[in-house]
Chain A
């Protein structure tokens, strides 16, 4: 990793409105930059717009004003197919409710984004997926169905899945919000380790102050504005 600051994610003057039931501005002139290798958390009270912001940053929500750059490339206004490809290749997701595909085994869950990217052969991907699972000590569960795992285990698999395509950025929406203290700590330590050892850029939305304290940088939001960078 280079020592020079290389922006991975840049948000410029992002405004977001909800129109239902009445017009409300949820995000007001959000500006910030996340550089390569940073472990950042976004905190704020519920309803302050932090999840909304994350969906915009994740390219899934395209209905906003302003400009968004990922990996120094303007992605505002790109086609949804292009954004799908970009998400597949450059962004890894970890959600609050694990969101594994219950129809598949743990290994297949990790594999699917890789198969979709279609950069490596299946054998190679399986090998890589096992490597990722080993990081989280989940390799012996590889052939279980996703719904046979505990909450903490599911979340670890979800993180492994987020990593399969070596994304430039990992985003998490309350990844520990649904876990007990012990599992939350495990998951937090995994993120910490990813940031420290693999210099993985990570952006986590959380309302858990303890989690936020452990990150390199905290972005605090209130009423749709960033009040601390």
Chain B
């Protein structure tokens, strides 16, 4: 059986009911448009919201935890080693926040081929002195270049430039902290460290992450500035942040180096499990809505094809009488369904793309997201592929049952019925 003939017959049947065919195709178009627009928009938002935290979260963070030594002397004694020993009131001893041997660790990590970048950091508890009031805060000693490269630091510096931190004694204040201190760019503020050292730093920028709590306390200065402020040596580091090429390797990577360096290592998956859950649920919901739309349009096609078959019983009967077999008739109606799906789907994908472009133009300004001016949209081809495939699958299924019905039409019944 030649496909050209099947196509010709299918086309003729569709053109005989142009209006209905268009209605059916419009149903598919509408649902595919919505599917693509919805998923693009949803995932754009997802990426944005996840990025809010995940972008500036290192894949692995190495740090020293102050905690009691797990190896107590009694466990080492041959007499009590195998017993269950209960020791009360253990205190952490001789611990410090700084990472031991930070230089070789940095060197080893930088050489690892899985690592995209390493950025060291100092976390320092401080008081911002405002008149006679002290506000608690944290000054993060960072390498502005590395921080920009790996954690999109510049996106969150709303005023000023991260490179300004390279001048000694300069600071980028968290927006919330700056507001509370009424500190403008160029002002000099005073900070007291936890150990009582005082330092005067010049405000060169504002930092706004979108997380108000974070912005109220956190400020940024260069590593050198913080080391000086704290009166520590140039090897003093409290955190080493690592970004990998494949962030799925993070847990294994963390486990591996935790043992080698005998240091705490947190991976992103463990720390931010809730973000993964949130975005996967949002994705699930948008897929569910999109697929519901497609199924509804599938029912539309099913109805229209059913109607078409009732109207075209004569045609089916005559085709069968002149030698078309059941599978030919089935193919004709499947072809009609798939053509509706193909054309409706293609137009839908195009309109969906336009809708995404439109959504991308809608202003979306919020204090929480300083870098975002319009709604974010994800233009990943994945959604277009899924939409396209789904439009064909639903229309095929919607066409399958009417086509089977058409193929089982008994020509004798129709011809005799006249």
Contacts and interface: CB of A to CB of B under 8 A. Distances in A.
A116 B324 contact: yes
A93 B414 CA distance: 15
Interface stretch (B238-246, B257-265, B314-322): B314-322
The interface residues of chain B, by DSSP majority, are classed as helix
B325 A80 contact: yes
Contact of A113 (B2, B323, B327): B323
Contacts of B307: none
A179 interface: no
Interface residues of A, number: 31
Given A87-B321, A112-B5, A80 B415 contact: no
A96 B315 contact: no
B323 A84 contact: yes
A137 interface: no
Interface string B315-341: 101111111111110000000000000
Interface string B1-37: 1100100110011011000000000000000000000
A61 B414 CA distance: 12
A60 B411 contact: yes
Nearest to A115: B5
A173 interface: yes
B418 interface: yes
Nearest to A93: B321
A103 B16 contact: yes
Interface residues of B, number: 29
B5 A116 contact: yes
Given A55-B412, A95-B415, A101-B315, A60 B320 contact: yes
Contacts of B326: 80-81, 84
A198 B335 CA distance: 39
A104 to B, nearest CB: 6
Contact of B418 (A58, A97, A161): A97
Nearest to A117: B323
Interface in A64-97: 80-81, 84-89, 93, 95-97
Given A89-B323, A93-B321, 11 more contacts: A61-B412, A81-B327, A84-B323, A84-B324, A84-B325, A112-B322, A113-B323, A115-B2, A115-B8, A116-B324, A118-B5
Interface of A: 51, 55, 58, 60-61, 80-81, 84-89, 93, 95-97, 99-104, 112-113, 115-118, 161, 173
